[in-house]
Amino acid sequence: MGKYEALGNFLSKHKATHIRMSFADIERVIGGKLPASQRYPAWWSNNPSNNPMTRVWLDAGFQTEQVDTAGRKLVFRRAITPSSGGDAGPRGQHPLFGCMRGTITIEANTDLAAPADPEWAAIAFGRPRGQD
């Protein structure tokens, strides 16, 4: 059993969508002290490669929000996924994210930064029309 696994079990048992906890509450749940890095907001980010505890709350279906490192408190919010009846997909993305992948082909040597309309370019760059 990992150091933070008790937190994952604790969160998994709750049906609430929001769980407000102090850092002291978390320490009671895990049966030990949080590391010194807990004083930095980045430690509480929802990046799965951030730290071992992050993976535990993400795997339990929660994300952190309203992190107050000075006040030593935060909120765990249940992540919305298609399986939980929400409308967000993996990693909180909208289910239509990527739905158009592979439907557009860009010709070789196409300058994607070039204006599509020469008249617009003339107006945007303050040149008389026809002198692109």
**88-116 tens-digit pLDDT:** 445 555 666 666 666 777 788 888 777 67
Position 82 scores a pLDDT of 47
Q: From 74, 59, 61, 54, select the one nearest 16 (Cα to Cα).
A: 61
Distance from CA of residue 131 to its chain's centroid?
A: 46
- Structural tokens at position 40: 């930095």
- Structural tokens at position 112: 């994607």
Position 49 scores a pLDDT of 85
Sequence ranges of the domains in the chain: 5-82
Task: Report which listed range, 55-69, 79-93, 107-121, is most confident.
Answer: 55-69
